[in-house]
Amino acid sequence: MRTRYTRLHEAWDNEIKREELQNIPDDFLHEMKNYTNQLNKTPANTGTLSGNLTQTERKYTNQMLKELSETRLNKIIRSELNGLAINAQAMTPEEQQLHSNLRQLLTGYRQGAELPIVRAVKPEPQPTVTKKDSAPPPPKIEVRDTELVLVRFLQSLPAIMGIDMKAYGPFQPEELATIPRQNAENLIKRGIAKKVETDA
């Protein structure tokens, strides 16, 4: 029977060596997290054989589990950003939920989000510098304050990224929501939402 250390090492080795997301059991990451937690709580007296073995096992299991989780996360994010197919059956339930949320957020961003508008601020007068070849300080950049407006959605829309870099949505038809003005104008032009006039 394979030990948990052996199973973790095999999963880590397969994930590192292959570009595709590798199949693991749904509860594998939870099981290995519990395994590393148990090792971290196990006394390891230095100077004894058992203590040295426990310390070595603890070191490598923590490192492998971290690299395994981060490698899988990077593969999921990279595939979605590049529009590449990914095997959903290879993902754990938590990874499937993460992938679904990421896809929804990116879809909304690509459909209607705009980047924040920035404007250069004239720098304050600087004292005369006598040192030769001294370069002037770069201008400061600040993000314009975000104005929010109330809109009514005419159709469903997945979550979007606002110009203030905050997530909004998802939205359903006839739903009212307050979103950044520039995002609202974009959606209104596309017939997705309608501005709601409010009394001043």
pLDDT on residue 200: 52
Element housing 118 (H / E): strand 118-121
95-154 pLDDT, tens digit each:
988 888 888 887 777 776 554 444 445 556 655 545 444 455 544 434 455 788 899 999
Region 47-65: what's the mean pLDDT?
88
Report the pLDDT value the prediction gives residue 34, as an integer from 0 to 100: 94
Contacts of 136 (CB under 8 A, 6+ apart): 123, 126
Name the token pair of 2: 């394979």
Q: How far is CA 47 from CA 52, 123, 125, in A?
A: 7, 62, 65
- Domain 4-91's class? mainly alpha
Percentage, residues of the chain above pLDDT 90: 35
Fold agreement (4-91, 139-200)? no
Residue 26 pLDDT: 92
Distance of CA 187 to the CA centre of its chain: 25
CA distance 23 to 14: 10
CA 158/CA 200 separation, integer angstroms: 30
**166: confidence class by pLDDT, cuts 50, 70, 90:** confident
| pLDDT at residue 118 in the model | 45
CA dihedral of residues 20, 23, 26, 30 (deg, nearest 10): -70
Tokens 């595939």: give the residue. Answer: 79
Percentage of the chain lying above the pLDDT 70 cut: 82
DSSP letter for each residue of 91-120: S-HHHHHHHHHHHHHHHHHHHH--PPPEEE
Q: Quickly state the pLDDT bin for 84 (edges 50, 70, 90).
A: confident
Which pLDDT does position 37 carry in this prediction? 93
Angle 115-100-30 (CA atoms, 0-180°, nearest 5)? 120
pLDDT value of position 141: 36
Name the band, by pLDDT with cuts 50, 70 and 90, for residue 35: very high
Would you call 40 helix, strand, or coil by DSSP?
Answer: helix
Mean pLDDT of the chain: 81
Choose the most confident range, by mean pLDDT, from 34-48, 57-71, 113-127, 169-183. 57-71
Instruction: Output the pTM of the full model.
Output: 0.55
Measured CA distances, 63 to 45, 60, 69, 145, 164 (Å): 21, 5, 10, 43, 37
Q: Please, what CATH class does the domain formed by 139-200 belong to?
A: alpha beta
Task: Identify the pLDDT of residue 15.
Answer: 94
Q: What is the mean pLDDT of residues 62-72?
A: 94
Two structure tokens written together for 200: 């001043």
**Does residue 14 have a pLDDT over 70?**
yes
Domain ranges in the chain are: 4-91, 139-200
Does residue 157 contact residue 183 with C-beta atoms inside 8 Å?
Answer: no
* Res 199: pLDDT: 66
